[in-house]
Amino acid sequence: MSERKGKSSASKKPSRSSGDRSKGFDKPSKKPYGKGEQRYKKAKGDPLPSFSEDVRLNKFIANAGICSRREADVLIQSGIVEVNGKIITEMGYKVKPGDQVKYDGSTIQTEKKRYVLLNKPKDFITTMDDEHGRRTVLQLVKNACKERIYPVGRLDRNTTGVLLFTNDGDLAKKLTHPRYEVKKIYHVVLERPIDVEQIKALHAGVELDDEDFVKVDSAEIIADSRMREVGVEIHSGKNRVIRRMFEAIGHNVTRLDRVKFAGLTKKDLPRGTWRNLTDKEVDFLRMG
């Protein structure tokens, strides 16, 4: 499956058919994801690219998916890493484009960076595997590419919507680090109506069950929803933060859908399907 033809979903302006939708708070799609339905073709295989500038040896090893940078330092010090036939034990050594790097006698192949966007359905957990045999999001993107990709952040089992996967560790770290304040927009459906004073409380900030204090960047009641649906913009990445914030003001969330993450939307992406990001979208994430 590859990206759909035409303009990327992230570059299109949201529908303005109603006041709430102009804010990007479209109601969740009710289209079933079906039995392995795939509406996008797999990207054509292209050769693995070489990096274009010098890179530290530990980063090169980590980017190849062998281990973390810290663990790579241990491998280098142990004398089992070679560059162009020479054992390297120097910390901070830089690999040049075209260098041949071997680990324990085997040549390390650099992976092509992959960026896959999934519209997550309910009842899938955001983890690599599950000891209880529950369905995971990795099962939904297993045919996206041959490289091993990982979810950026988490959505709990019953939360739906935008979920990004990549093998670009640097970008993933950036998108999840609190310093960068990556914006997310959620469509929240409540068990009972909410009032304006409670919306103001979300803006002012609420104390969570672990005594953390969190406030939304924006929260608006969605028109024609009988005061039971709210569009929320937030940059906090705390675990289950939306559900916990509403619980703090006395509301139970019955449905939660992430409609936007770091500028990426699920527009034209049916529930349970994925697509590759466009080069333009990747550049936007890197520059953001």
By annotation, the residues acting in catalysis are 156
The length of the chain in residues reads: 288
- Which stretches of the chain are DSSP H helices? 57-63, 69-77, 169-176, 196-204, 241-248, 279-287
The C-alpha torsion from 79 through 97 and 175 to 173, rounded to 10°, is 10
Rounded CA-CA distance 221/63 in Å is 43
DSSP element (H, E) containing 275: strand 274-276
What does 222-255 look like in DSSP terms, one character per residue? PTTSTT-EEEEEE----TTHHHHHHHHTT--EEE
Residues 6+ apart with CB under 8 A from 145: 42, 43, 114, 116
Q: What is the DSSP letter of 137?
A: G
Its sign, for the CA torsion 131, 171, 89, 147, is positive
